[in-house]
Amino acid sequence: MKTFVTGATGLVGGNLVRALISKGEAVRVFIREKSNTIALNDLEVERHYGDIRDKDSLALALKDCCRVYHCAASVSQWRGNLSASKEININGTINIMEEALRAGVERVVYVSTVDTLGLSSRENPADENSSHESMAKFRNPYVDTKYEAEIRAWEFVKKGLNLVVVNPTYMFGPWDVRPSSGQMILEVARGMVVGYPGGGNNFVDVEDVVQGMIIAMESGRAGEKYILANRDGNLTYREMFTLIAEVVGVKPPRFRIPYVLALAGGYMSDIYGKLTGSEPQINSVTARLGYAPHYFSPAKAIKELGIPQSPVEGAVRRAFEWFKKHGYL
């Protein structure tokens, strides 16, 4: 019997597959034909090509699999990609849950996001019971589609699916092929960061997240969700940029970007994206999010899963070394 992993070419999936193989598990990855497979090329895994939007390819791929980790997602935060985000994040997740239920798998661990929860303060960080209402106002296609996908996933529990949902925060680590969160490290290292936004986030080691996922599969409570975060990782962006700068050996940004200026730049990027048809790196949605208090508590995951709490600095350092080794810097 095999362990089935979607999104295996991404930051979470790539590190997860490595951890599963090190435990001696037989892993089948579900990837698209055109996917960048750098994270998998040196691993002994069974590759099955398809698309989570195609139920037939999923049904075939899930044969003889006993466990499912659903990591695949569209992480676009540009409203120009809203339609594709719905297809991948919502419909793709529904397909996974339907086919997993039909295949009679032992358990599904679905990788959602803390963005399905609400905003809070560093003094009182959000937990698994926090309302999504404060995040809905941003009209973020990634947030909105992941929120609906999580709601739809929970519906399958009533149908008999053994499901655990994990909600990771902002992850750093190696094998960030695209890159995703590691873009922050690259921009600091390249001297492209001139200032910082006024908000903050919870930052966590991707390897801690992966261990939390594996424990959730083995002993997490069915029908529960767990925030996979770092209890010391609630940092302002100024603090995080400073930490990254120290690791990569450059000067940190010194001034706070005024909100009005950031928002103006975001709207200008929106216009550029509409004219060119390509997603801008910064847009009005991400500009607003940069000033949000995005702080979370991993207390439940620490208590029930024993998720590791590694210093975030180590994750940044490993990511930076990986980027250098693979020619990103």
Which letter does DSSP use for residue 67 in this model?
E
pLDDT digits (tens, 9 = 90+) for 240-254: 999 999 999 999 999
Residue 277's pLDDT is 87
| Number of neighbouring beta carbons within 10 Å of residue 34 | 7
At 204 the three-state DSSP class reads: strand
pLDDT tens string 151-191: 999 999 999 999 999 999 999 999 999 999 999 999 999 99
Q: What is the pLDDT of residue 116?
A: 96
Mention every residue, 6+ apart, whose C-beta is less than 8 A from residue 183: 281
Which range is least confidently modeled, 105-109, 213-217, 280-284? 280-284
Q: For position 79, what pLDDT does the model report? A: 85
User: What pLDDT score does 80 carry?
Assistant: 85
The stretch 51-66 carries a mean pLDDT of 94
> What pLDDT shows up at residue 314?
98
What domains can you pick out in the chain, each with its CATH number? 2-176+203-231+296-312 (3.40.50.720)
Find how far residue 287's CA is from the centre of its chain: 19
What is d(CA 210, CA 232) in angstroms, rounded to the nearest whole number?
A: 18
Tokens of 289: 């999010």
Task: Supply the pLDDT for residue 156.
Answer: 97
User: Any idea what DSSP says for residue 80?
Assistant: G
